[in-house]
Amino acid sequence: MSGRIKRAFGSLICIVAAAGILTGCVSTGGKTTDAPENLKKTVSDGRMLVPDITRDTLTLPQDASTSADESLKTPGKSTKNETKEQVDEKIIEGSLIDPAKYIPDPNARIKIVLDPGHGGVHAGASCDGIEEKDINLKVALMCRNYLVTHYSDVAVYMTRSIDRELSPTLKDDLEERANVAEHADADALISIHFNASENHDSSGSIVYVSKRDNVHEESALLGDQILGRLEDLGLESHGISIRDSNDLMDPDGNPYDYYAINRHCAKRDIPGIIVEHAYIDNLADRDFIDSDEDLRAIAEADALGIAAHFELTLY
Ligand SMILES: [Zn+2]
């Protein structure tokens, strides 16, 4: 294991249940992702798990800046006729690809799944009116739009593009996210989150990766690229971390990964990383997330990190 990989023992409030209720801020209150489960469960049940983006409707008001007369193009079509400056101008203006019109190309060289954490009945953290599940979704959509308007050889799938859960039960919800990556034959899944701490005194970014040999190194390299771009924005980086399950052991008696996304993706030979961008209950970090422009900067940092890792090709 690389020396720069830290083992994390602290609680990740946005994903796991926290005993304490924060002042004005709440954690998910849901079941821990570490809930025992049958890891030998058959992966696929034959359902259509690649997200049906055409079925979804973008519902976030501030982010729904697409309009009927503004047809951002799918890569490989008319976007190719636009100069990079024209694309940048659209990005700067805040336009978004219409999620009902963007269709990922399954033949793209690189296939990415962006996973906005939580959603629907799974709220995630919240603080002073900021709902983690909402800003997770915003950042993920902005990240997707940046990637598909700037790079010609990437397809981006979403585990959700509206405020919804993938399953009412947290255990199934998390496994469904990995199933999306499997059905998309993804090169990586990036699960997008924001954190909160019981004492509101934690800040900065951290990336959780699987410790499994089949995905660990690539996960850590991808996470490093993203953390580097977030650091450029001014967010403190706490580096790459792994966390062991408390009670889930493999046949050799070694603990599985604590976080279900890490665990389920590793089981499918897919690097699945959790990016905790910042703490929504920390005043210093709040400056990085309290406007759409801030969230866009975070989304672009993610996109640039992904592009650097996969050496994506600019239009
Ligand atoms: Zn979260």
Ligand 1 centroid–CA 103 distance in Å is 26
Q: Which helix (H) or strand (E) holds 218?
A: helix 216-233
Cα 195 to ligand 1 centroid, rounded to whole Å:
6
Q: Which residues are found with C-beta within 5 Å of the ion, ligand 1? A: 14-15, 117, 124, 193
Rounded to whole angstroms, how far apart are CA atoms 239 and 207?
6
pLDDT value at 202 more than 90? yes
User: Which of these ranges, 18-32, 88-102, 119-133, has the smallest mean pLDDT?
Assistant: 18-32
Mean pLDDT of the region 255-266: 97
Q: Which residue has the tokens 């799944």?
A: 113
Instruction: For residue range 39-94, list pLDDT tens digits in order.
Output: 323 223 322 233 333 233 233 323 322 222 222 333 333 344 555 544 444 433 34
Token pair 């924060």 is found at 22
* Ligand 1 centroid to residue 172 C-alpha, Å: 16
Could you tell me the pLDDT band of residue 224, with boundaries at 50, 70 and 90?
very high
Residue whose pair of structure tokens reads 């990016």 in the numeric block: 275
Q: What's the confidence (pLDDT) of residue 41? A: 30
Q: What is the pTM of this model?
A: 0.76
Domains of the chain: 49-310 (3.40.630.40)
- Picking from 180, 164, 162, 202, the residue whose alpha carbon sits closest to that of residue 283 is 202
Ligand 1 centroid from CA 73, angstroms: 31
278: closest CA among 234, 225, 223, 235? Answer: 235
Distance 117 CA to ligand 1 centre (A): 5
**For 257, phi and psi rounded to 5 degrees?**
-65, 145
